[in-house]
Amino acid sequence: MAVESWITPEETPALAEAAKAVIECRLSRISAAEREAYWASIRKAYNTPYNPPVSKRAQAAQVSVIEISTAELPSVDVQAAALASATLSADIQAA
């Protein structure tokens, strides 16, 4: 789809400067540090690709999965453990 514009390439720099002057005028009520942060965010927004590639740091952060065998764990009587836990809880609350 073709983009239609009434602005010629020759007009672009002057219009950009005029727009920046209007924005700077509006931003004059905030501190210089806040103005710089505003312009930094604009530069970042316009320079960030829509679908940035996966960073090398993110690729390096991948963790391998370790399999743990449950065969080596001792068997536990679940009902007895639940009763012991409830009894201990009741004893603590009574104390």
Look at residue 19 in the predicted model and tell me its pLDDT. Answer: 92
Among 7, 26, 24, 23, which Cα is nearest to 15's?
7
Judge whether residue 66 has pLDDT over 70: yes
Residue 59 is assigned to a structural domain of this protein: no
Asked which of 23-27, 57-61, 71-75, 86-90 is least confident by mean pLDDT, the reply is: 57-61
Residue 29 is assigned to a structural domain of this protein: yes
pTM of the complete model:
0.42
CA 75 – CA 78 distance, rounded (Å):
9
- Alpha-helix runs per DSSP H in the chain: 12-27, 32-47, 56-60, 78-94
Residue 44 is assigned to a structural domain of this protein: yes
Range of the domain at 40: 9-49
